[in-house]
Structure 1
């Protein structure tokens, strides 16, 4: 069973790690000091966290974004800044491509002795809940990030400082906070078990999620599992499952012509009345209104 906490080791001679992928987050290349790449195992397809901060840019693919207790859709152009030890997971069934940089520059790191980076240090200190970058900031940073592969270590460092400068100056409207709270998961002995539970739920949410299966998978008692799942995922199991089902239903409402009832059942909702109540509570409108409003909204 894979552990929830990932250990990140930058290549020798580098202060941070740059990785890229062209097919999926299992087949990841680490960029070496001379600009060449070396294949490593990727952890982005698992619920995990690491002490390093991370900036990830997707150039292709789509799926579900999990950041702390946030669950949402992502697609090409996605750019997310993650704080230290913030659990995350990218579920892209059809594959994806992109670039990511990962660094650990604590408050005592010598890089912060440059007074020009004071604003960057302040902003990064607020990223414990994760940001989704938007607008021209996302376009600029994404372009710089994609240019970090194939160049030598010194040039990558220069571009990292450039990224720091851009995000430090970005307007507040260009960043969307993702998780409703921060997480401190650096030492939990239940990390691997909850990671396995999350993978099971994500893989089976369209069908019945049996608590007995989750308890067997994790080896926990019901009270312990309930407590640890909420601590790690930020939601109860039922809230987590309903959020996944609701997101899948929204996608089908926009991408298919199936009836609301067919979509609800296909996404795992056994009772149409419950689906309609949950949808209205979360989206502020009925499923039919959501489909009509979104379809008529200007691009």
Structure 2
């Protein structure tokens, strides 16, 4: 697997890149103008980061979202703002579609020469945690993102600025930080590719018995180096990341199936139901049975 730093080039004559996909995050189109697109390599389907900020909206699809040290579910309508060099990854279950905007406005960018834009500095800083956008703000921004694909030139830039303005004045209840820690990884790192391989292996294998020794062989790293770099890049220890993956899978099973707690814990990779129950109560602040009841009550 290649290094996890994605290289982004806005099309000529554009200050940001607008992407669309209709089936898979591996098959992404860069929108040049209304009705004109160019296929570009998609990176959203694996763990990666880039210097650019990103605003991503899923029209359809569901699965697991990884943003910094956050691991959680996503569904259609999911709208997330990502800061610079913040590692992220969407793992859809099946097909998905959506739209994404990517831009890079460092401190010396002309964007900051307009005093009206200075109010966005705090939003951009908070985006280092990843921000989930909901409520009326999400409704307004999602609609505006759709308008971006129908516009070009100054009109498209104007819509983009309106999107940023809408985010900048959003109600606090519409913005939720995702990652407990802010990330800003260096542009280049000798450990990027190895960490991507480790994350990919854990996501593919978490339901089975996973051994650290196998991951060390995959990455070619010593135990001490792996522990240090994995924590730096994912925000979790090896076991902590693995347990979060398993917990998210268990939560989905509790919401969507009538399987017993023991069956779910074993199917999601927990060898002992007693450990599963303790971890679930600690992380979810309730027991699995209550979680199932609450989730179904919300949907009723």
Question: TM-score interval w.r.t. the shorter chain?
Answer: over 0.9
1:33 deviates by 4.5
**Counterpart position of 2:250:** 249
Supply the distance in 1 between the matched residues of 2:171 and 2:151 (Cα, whole angstroms): 30
TM-score for both structures, normalised by structure 2: 0.96
Q: Is the 8 A contact 2:206 2:269 kept in 1?
A: yes
Write out the 4+ residue segments of structure 1 that deviate beyond 6 Å after TM superposition. Answer: none
1:151 deviates by 2.8
**Counterpart position of 2:111:** 111
Supply the distance in 2 between the matched residues of 1:104 and 1:33 (Cα, whole angstroms): 20
1:290 aligns with 2:281: no
Supply the distance in 2 between the matched residues of 1:151 and 1:61 (Cα, whole angstroms): 26
CA deviation profile, 1:195-222 (whole Å, cap 9, x unmatched): 0110110011101112122111111011
Supply the distance in 2 between the matched residues of 1:197 and 1:228 (Cα, whole angstroms): 11
Supply the distance in 1 between the matched residues of 2:118 and 2:286 (Cα, whole angstroms): 44
TM-score for both structures, normalised by structure 1: 0.97
Supply the distance in 2 between the matched residues of 1:147 and 1:61 (Cα, whole angstroms): 21
How many positions carry a matched residue from both structures?
Answer: 299
**Counterpart position of 1:204:** 205
Supply the distance in 2 between the matched residues of 1:33 and 1:138 (Cα, whole angstroms): 24
**Counterpart position of 1:165:** 165
Supply the distance in 1 between the matched residues of 2:90 and 2:155 (Cα, whole angstroms): 28
Structure 1 segments unaligned to the other structure (5+ residues): none
Q: Is the 8 A contact 1:68 1:181 kept in 2?
A: yes
**Counterpart position of 1:16:** 16
Task: Select between 36-45 and 148-157 the one with higher mean Cα deviation.
Answer: 148-157
**Counterpart position of 1:140:** 140
**Counterpart position of 1:268:** 269
**Counterpart position of 1:238:** 239
1:292 deviates by 1.4
Q: Is the 8 A contact 1:11 1:33 kept in 2?
A: no
Q: Is the 8 A contact 2:33 2:149 kept in 1?
A: no
Specify the SS of the correspondent of 2:47: coil
Specify the SS of the correspondent of 2:148: coil
CA deviation profile, 1:142-191 (whole Å, cap 9, x unmatched): 11112212432333211101101111111111100011111232232101
Specify the SS of the correspondent of 1:65: strand
Q: Is the 8 A contact 2:58 2:96 kept in 1?
A: yes
Report 1:1-299 matches (<5 A). Answer: 1-33=1-33, 36-186=36-186, 187-297=188-298
Q: Is the 8 A contact 1:14 1:33 kept in 2?
A: no
Q: Is the 8 A contact 1:66 1:89 kept in 2?
A: yes
Structure 2 segments unaligned to the other structure (5+ residues): none
Over the aligned positions, Cα root-mean-square deviation in angstroms equals 1.3
